[in-house]
Structure 1
Amino acid sequence: MNFEQHSPWYAVKGAEEIDSPALLVYPDRIAQNIREMLAIAGNPDRLRPHIKTHKMAEIIRMQQKAGIRKFKCATLAEAELLGQCEAEDVLVAYPLVGPGPARLAHLQNKYPATRFSCLVDNLPALETLEKTVTAEGIRLGVFMDLNVGMNRTGIIPGPEAVALYLKMDAAESLDCRGFHAYDGHLRNPDPQIRAKDCDAAFKNVEALRETLLAQSVSVPDIIAGGSPTFPIHARRPGVELSPGTTLLWDARYGEQFPEMPFLVAATVLCRVISKPASGICCLDLGHKAVAAEMNFPRVLLPQLPESSQISQSEEHLVLTADPAELPPVGTVIYAIPMHICPTVIKYPEALIVIEGSVRGKWNIAARDYHLPLKGPVF
């Protein structure tokens, strides 16, 4: 594709010099997505964005410049990156087992300016965490992880949750900070139905909070939702919001939730590498280059809207289309991932595209599960 004055937003000058496949990110579009997040939230203090989608220090800092102080993450590598970025408040929203509690305690010692917290959804995990923190002579924050219907992690709101929260509140070495309620299963494309489902699930969270307040037990914060329910929870006063995919967006969310105002801000540059038969072509976009856990299509191909994706292997994505519609071997193709989060981690770095030109690279700094930590090895 030649870059012309009216080329699509994703087109890059000098694409013929870029090795493929390559991850491209577009900071101007990321900045617009941050502005949209702030407009929905109404106040940066209500936002606790998840960094699992991008895992990049530069995008963390873009959010910090916009006034966002609190963040959520899923791995200790992401927590370490947030500590390096001097984030004020970090929640590791993933069960910490094995050496996890000790590693988080080490991070709290290493980055004292950052307030680290984690999740608990059962008594043995709470006891292990309290024992670890006490031995380290530090304090950690703890949120109770609630199962509001996703059935992945969390404790179901009810008597057992009340009992667990009371023990959390009584733990001397922990700061009991409230609830975490992730409702990632609520993805109805109809925004009214999605809102109704979200409100129904959240009623159990509110009821649990009222039960604890009646016993004079404080629930300081409630962190709720992900990207699909972000605008719904934004209507609830006092609830912290934790979208993540909103920063880069992807084709799947764009199709499912067209009413949401976010822009796709990442693509994968690939090429036609073969045309082995009439009506068939192959791209260098295999499992190793783009998220492949879903059914086809794995990517949206704006340049090949009439093509169908029929097979994929480690290094190849095979398409079929009218032979007249298939471009020559060597043609640069821009692919918009259907699922951006597991696509990003396939690359050590992203090329930064500003005004149609590559202006540098950003490291996917928290790509691995653990960053090298100085000090004790756990």
Structure 2
Amino acid sequence: MRKSELDTPCILVDRVKLLDNIRRYQGYADAAGIALRPHAKTHKTPEIARLQVEAGAVGVTVAKLGEAEAMADGGIRDIVVAYPIVGSAKLARLIALARRAKITVACDGIDAAASLSEAALQSGLVIDVWVEVDPGYGRAGVLPGADLDRLASALVPLQGIRVCGALVFAGHSYGAETDAEREAIARNEAGTALLAAEALRGFGFPIESVSAGSTPVGRFASAMAGVTEIRPGTYVFGDVMMVKAAALAIEQCALTVLVTVVSRPAADRAVIDAGTKVFTMDGEDSAIGTGRGYVVGHPAIEVAWFNEEHGILKLPDGERGLRVGDRLEIVPAHCCAVVNMLDELHVLDGDRVGATWRIAARGKVK
């Protein structure tokens, strides 16, 4: 099947660019002498996770237990759930999953840890735990210093879990404007993780893994001395947010959304068949002035705004020849959100569809 035969809207992935992105970030980790554990919340697709592992990744990171189950079903055997597991239903699923794959769970508080300890003891398993520490982003994570010490002290008597890692995520790196800022954030992130690891070792925990890093700072892995692995995710596809973050060029973005022009209500306006139920409103506008996405081959077109089912394109004078039925490819503002909206992605070899992969973890947010 050729790309022109696909119904729209749909996700396209350029195989060459995909593989290039996988190899490039694996190269950053290899050059730094640390492991790469890519975040699979971006692609949610076991076929891509297997490509990453084949290229050298030690396993994957996921955000939710449902993603971990989908990755295990797809053959991935080393999975870090970088999210607290809370509630009896999820703990039962976690125990079942831990019987068929190596599962590590992030934790930043005693309540979740105590519940996990009890569930593990009842099952006869020991679950690896990484303590998440906040490096200044202000999301999840115990604060370093006194708060971390209090948590570590409370963790000491718990059985059924093995505290063996420290994990940080400097999400504020996405807002950095220069490489100097990004490198400084990478160094600070690493420093926070290392201090946390030392603090935990002081309480007798065998800390083996010191995990940090995201796509914006992945290029600076060599500056993250002492970190044992990085967890970038968006690099695998790229999007306009990552172009703004200088993680890759717009031409290196592997994922696009194929859309059709369905209306031409005004000379300066075209309407496409994809709105927030495809592109979502997550992510920032393009740093190169193209709005909520980038129209491949038509950089002067602005992806102006979305309703649920409609995307509105603002057309300059030189782009007003678009007709109803014309097709366009758009690099989204945030690829991770788009992947969670559709059921499959089409892998292109040139203009031909070489494979169609089900997004197995799509909607797996429990």
**Which residue number in structure 2 is paired with residue 375 of structure 1?**
none
Which among 118, 122, 126 is matched to residue 131 of structure 1?
A: 118
| 8 Å Cα contact 2:194-2:226 kept in structure 1 | no
**Which residue number in structure 2 is paired with residue 176 of structure 1?**
163
Compared with structure 1, are the counterparts of its residues 259 and 190 closer, same or farther at alpha carbon in structure 2 (3 Å cutoff)? farther
**Which residue number in structure 2 is paired with residue 149 of structure 1?**
136
**Which residue number in structure 2 is paired with residue 197 of structure 1?**
185
Which among 257, 271, 288 is matched to residue 268 of structure 1?
A: 257
After TM superposition, give the deviation of residue 28 of structure 1 in Å. Answer: 2.0
**Which residue number in structure 1 is paired with residue 288 of structure 2?**
none
**Which residue number in structure 2 is paired with residue 85 of structure 1?**
74
Greater Cα offset, 248-257 or 258-267 = 258-267
**Alignment-mate amino acid for residue 128 of structure 2:** G
**Which residue number in structure 1 is paired with residue 273 of structure 2?**
284
Distance 2:216 2:239 in 1: 12
Compared with structure 1, are the counterparts of its residues 261 and 352 closer, same or farther at alpha carbon in structure 2 (3 Å cutoff)? closer
SS of alignment partner, residue 252 of structure 2: coil
Distance 1:238 1:200 in 2: 11
1:104 and 2:94 are equivalent in the alignment: yes
Distance 1:66 1:121 in 2: 31
Distance 2:195 2:17 in 1: 39
**Alignment-mate amino acid for residue 123 of structure 2:** E
**Alignment-mate amino acid for residue 336 of structure 2:** C
Compared with structure 1, are the counterparts of its residues 174 and 215 closer, same or farther at alpha carbon in structure 2 (3 Å cutoff)? closer
After TM superposition, give the deviation of residue 120 of structure 1 in Å. Answer: 1.1
1:38 and 2:26 are equivalent in the alignment: yes
**Which residue number in structure 2 is paired with residue 343 of structure 1?**
338
SS of alignment partner, residue 292 of structure 1: coil
1:67 and 2:56 are equivalent in the alignment: yes
**Alignment-mate amino acid for residue 56 of structure 2:** G
After TM superposition, give the deviation of residue 226 of structure 1 in Å. Answer: 1.2
Distance 2:252 2:135 in 1: 29
After TM superposition, give the deviation of residue 165 of structure 1 in Å. Answer: 2.5
1:76 and 2:71 are equivalent in the alignment: no
Which among 307, 312, 319 is matched to residue 313 of structure 2?
A: 319
Q: Which structure shows the bigger proportion of residues in helix conformation?
A: 2
**Which residue number in structure 2 is paired with residue 334 of structure 1?**
329
| TM-score (norm: length of structure 2) | 0.90
Q: Deviations over 1:235-289 (max 9, x none)?
A: 3244211011111111221132156799211111101111112221111121112
Compared with structure 1, are the counterparts of its residues 143 and 211 closer, same or farther at alpha carbon in structure 2 (3 Å cutoff)? closer
Greater Cα offset, 333-342 or 68-77 = 68-77
**Which residue number in structure 1 is paired with residue 210 of structure 2?**
222
Greater Cα offset, 270-279 or 315-324 = 315-324
SS of alignment partner, residue 171 of structure 2: coil
Q: Deviations over 1:113-149 (max 9, x none)?
A: x210111111111111101111111111100011111
| 8 Å Cα contact 2:301-2:315 kept in structure 1 | yes
**Which residue number in structure 2 is paired with residue 365 of structure 1?**
360
Compared with structure 1, are the counterparts of its residues 139 and 339 closer, same or farther at alpha carbon in structure 2 (3 Å cutoff)? same
| 8 Å Cα contact 1:223-1:240 kept in structure 2 | yes
Count how many residue pairs are aligned between Structure 1 and Structure 2: 356
Greater Cα offset, 85-94 or 150-159 = 85-94
**Which residue number in structure 2 is paired with residue 158 of structure 1?**
145
| 8 Å Cα contact 2:136-2:170 kept in structure 1 | yes
After TM superposition, give the deviation of residue 183 of structure 1 in Å. Answer: 0.7
SS of alignment partner, residue 87 of structure 1: coil
1:55 and 2:44 are equivalent in the alignment: yes
Which among 293, 300, 303 is matched to residue 294 of structure 2?
A: 300
Compared with structure 1, are the counterparts of its residues 255 and 19 closer, same or farther at alpha carbon in structure 2 (3 Å cutoff)? same
SS of alignment partner, residue 185 of structure 1: helix
Q: For structure 1, which runs of at least 5 residues remain unmatched after alignment?
A: 1-12, 372-378
**Alignment-mate amino acid for residue 72 of structure 1:** T
**Alignment-mate amino acid for residue 356 of structure 1:** D
| 8 Å Cα contact 2:107-2:132 kept in structure 1 | yes
After TM superposition, give the deviation of residue 360 of structure 1 in Å. Answer: 2.5
**Alignment-mate amino acid for residue 211 of structure 2:** I
Q: For structure 2, which runs of at least 5 residues remain unmatched after alignment?
A: 286-290
